[in-house]
Amino acid sequence: MKKTIQVVGAILENQNNEILCALRSPSMSMGNLWEFPGGKVEKYEDLKEAIVREIKEELNCDIKALEIFNHNVHEYENIIVNLITVRCELINDSHPIKSEHAALIWLKRPCLCSLKWAPADIPAMEALAKEL
């Protein structure tokens, strides 16, 4: 039976109404695909705690988790990903700093569909693109 993992992804928006997009590095699973930065939820934490921790670990910045944005279950060849995207805001004047990703970019909503996203992220990306 395939393993199911709970994954949180952050929807972060800057003052120019651009959304943060992160490119998974070639060495990661789902390498060279774009995602909302985040990661696996640990057993002891809730979704908001998980996204705050993951963003601190991956992007070395402080965020506040606001609300659940979208939820999608995607079955990959080897694993089932239960992806919950969470609308978040940057706090404490902090800015994302690239460490494990291959690239970070801020994109306007209409441009989001120009990237090659991890399949689990496509519903959230499309919902974002339709906003405003």
| Site residues (vs ligand 8DG, CB under 6 A) | 7, 9, 28-30, 35-36, 38-40, 81, 83, 118, 120-121
Cβ atoms within 10 Å, residue 31: 11
| Cβ closest to ligand 8DG, residue 88 vs residue 93 | 88
Cβ atoms within 10 Å, residue 59: 25
Nearest-CA neighbor of 35 among 63, 58, 4, 64? Answer: 58
In the complex, the smallest distance separating the C-beta of residue 28 from ligand 8DG, rounded to whole angstroms, is 6
| Cβ closest to ligand 8DG, residue 17 vs residue 32 | 32
In the complex, the smallest distance separating the C-beta of residue 70 from ligand 8DG, rounded to whole angstroms, is 11
Cβ atoms of 11 and 69 within 8 Å: the answer is yes
| Cβ closest to ligand 8DG, residue 56 vs residue 64 | 56
Cβ atoms within 10 Å, residue 81: 20
User: Which single residue brings its beta carbon nearest to ligand 8DG?
Assistant: 39
In the complex, the smallest distance separating the C-beta of residue 25 from ligand 8DG, rounded to whole angstroms, is 10
| Cβ closest to ligand 8DG, residue 77 vs residue 93 | 77
Establish how many alpha carbons lie within 13 A of residue 18's alpha carbon, considering only the half-sphere containing its beta carbon. 10
